[in-house]
Amino acid sequence: MMIAAYQRVGLVLVVSAGLQLVVKVRADAELVLEFVRVVALADLVQVAHKMLLLGNEANLKFLCQSSTLEETSEEAGLSINISKTKLMVVSKNPDLDPIINIDGKPLERVRQYKYLGAWVNEVWESDQEIKTRIEIARASFNKMRKVLCCRQINIKLRVRLLFCYIWPLVMYGCEAWTVKEDTTRRINAFEMWCYRRMLRISWTQRVSNESVLHRVQMTRKIMQTIKKRKIEYLGHVLRHDRYSLLQLIMMGKVEGKRRAGRRRKSWLRNIREWIGITSVE
């Protein structure tokens, strides 16, 4: 099933004599650079919306320095803009500093980049992205302050406007977030900040959050919605066979020993904690 799934997206899997998994692009694949949706596992290659993820430096150098990438791009009507092409390394080795050239020009290495409107960083954490979304929503709230804080408009209507225009800015891409305790507090604090501004409650008035929620006739909604979206997204992926590769990435296990120290909170662990499952059965 795994091999058939790769073939559907234009990849052929070849197992070499050393039993290493090698990925080759089919010569007759259409729009290879646009339609391959595979996350890099070991030496697997992902090309999705002009993004390449490779398992090691040697594979990346081979792909960039050979004519394969450029020729395949031209077949799809694409060209490589070196000034807009960046390099990001995801590794626990701080000394790793690869130098990748395309047409003799080195690629700029970055610590983070914006992809489809969301920030991706080299440690694959969502903290910075969540902070950015909150500040974008805060700026939008201030632009709509005359409406959202107008006492002549019923509070229920203002809350509906808040849900319509501000909440989507906060929750954009939340299905991909890994939410920690501190980011949860930050999200909840922003929600209460909005309600307090709408009621024109100063921090010096010492009004409890429960009183604020009672006055707007609401409960905390943002984190509930984020949890619901993440769980629904997981269910959507697990129900459909066409997402077999994504299922492998989400639920698959990597052989080997873990490093010493506490494990990072993962995307899937978020959901396990929310629904009360301690391990994957």
Q: Quote the pLDDT of residue 181.
A: 92
- 238 found inside a domain: no
- 148 found inside a domain: yes
Domain end point (choices 44, 75, 110): 110
Q: What is the mean pLDDT of residues 50-63?
A: 56
Both 85 and 167 in one domain: the answer is no
0.85 exceeded by pTM: no
Among 122, 140, 123, 143, CA closest to 132: 140
What are the DSSP calls for 163-210, one per residue?
HHHTHHHHSTTGGG----HHHHHHHHHHHHHHHHHHHT--GGG---HH
- 236 found inside a domain: no
- Band the pLDDT of 24: cuts 50, 70, 90: very low
Both 87 and 11 in one domain: the answer is yes
Work out the number of other CB atoms within 10 angstroms of the CB of residue 87: 17
Both 13 and 94 in one domain: the answer is yes
Which structural domain range is residue 197 located in?
127-227
Both 7 and 102 in one domain: the answer is yes
Both 66 and 132 in one domain: the answer is no
Q: Is the dihedral of CA 129, 225, 214, 183 positive or negative?
A: negative
Q: What is the mean pLDDT of residues 174-195?
A: 94
- 232 found inside a domain: no
Domain end point (choices 80, 110, 140): 110
**How distant is the alpha carbon of residue 98 from its chain centre?**
24
Write out pLDDT tens, residues 123-156.
Answer: 778 888 999 999 999 999 999 999 999 999 999 9
User: Residue written as tokens 């234009």?
Assistant: 10
Write out pLDDT tens, residues 65-88.
Answer: 555 666 766 777 777 777 888 888
Looking at the 3D structure of the chain, how many domains does it have? 2
Start-to-end CA distance of the chain, whole Å, equals 22
Domain end point (choices 227, 253, 270): 227
Both 49 and 12 in one domain: the answer is yes
